[in-house]
Amino acid sequence: MGITLGKYIWHNGNHTEWENANIHIMSHVIHYGSSVFEGIRVYDTHLGPAVYRLPDHIKRLFDSAKIYRMDLSYSPEDIVQACVDTVKKNELGACYIRPIVFRGYGAFGVNPFDNPLETYIATWEWGAYLGTDALESGVDVCFSSWGRFAPNTLPALAKCGANYMNSQLIKMEAILNGYSEGIALNNQGYISEGSGENIFIIRNGIIYTPPLSASILPGLTRDSVIEIVKDLGYELRVEMIPRESILIADEAFFTGTAAEITPIRSVDKIAVGNGKRGKITTKIQEEFFSIFNGKRKVPEDWLTPIK
Active site residues: 159
Give the residue, chosen from 255, 262, 285, 304, that forms a contact with ligand PMP under the rule CB under 6 A.
255
The residues near 279 (Cβ < 8 Å, ≥ 6 apart) are 251
Q: Is 260 a residue that touches ligand PMP (CB under 6 A)?
A: no
Scanning 71-79, 189-197, 201-209, 274-282 for contacts with ligand PMP by CB under 6 A, the matching segment is 189-197
Number of amino acids touching ligand PMP (CB under 6 A): 14
Q: Is 160 a residue that touches ligand PMP (CB under 6 A)?
A: no
Q: What is each CA distance from 190 to 143, 187, 210, in whole angstroms? A: 11, 8, 8
Whether residue 241 contacts residue 215, with contact meaning beta carbons closer than 8 Å, is answered with no
Nearer to ligand PMP, 86 or 167 (CB): 167
Whether residue 179 contacts residue 149, with contact meaning beta carbons closer than 8 Å, is answered with no
Scanning 75-83, 93-101, 109-117, 251-259 for contacts with ligand PMP by CB under 6 A, the matching segment is 251-259
- Region for 12 from its dihedrals, namely left if φ exceeds 0, alpha if ψ lies in -120 to 50, beta otherwise: left
CA atoms of 263 and 135, how far apart (whole Å): 6
Nearer to ligand PMP, 8 or 228 (CB): 228
Q: Is 39 a residue that touches ligand PMP (CB under 6 A)?
A: yes
Task: Read off the amino acid at residue 200.
Answer: F
| Nearest approach, Cβ of residue 222 and ligand PMP (Å) | 6
Nearer to ligand PMP, 45 or 215 (CB): 215
Q: Is 198 a residue that touches ligand PMP (CB under 6 A)?
A: yes
Nearer to ligand PMP, 8 or 229 (CB): 229
Site for ligand PMP in 203-232 (CB under 6 A): 217, 219-222
Q: Is 51 a residue that touches ligand PMP (CB under 6 A)?
A: no
| Nearest approach, Cβ of residue 216 and ligand PMP (Å) | 6
74: closest CA among 160, 161, 12, 159?
12
Q: Is 257 a residue that touches ligand PMP (CB under 6 A)?
A: yes
Residues that bind ligand PMP (CB under 6 A): 39, 167, 193, 196-198, 217, 219-222, 255-257
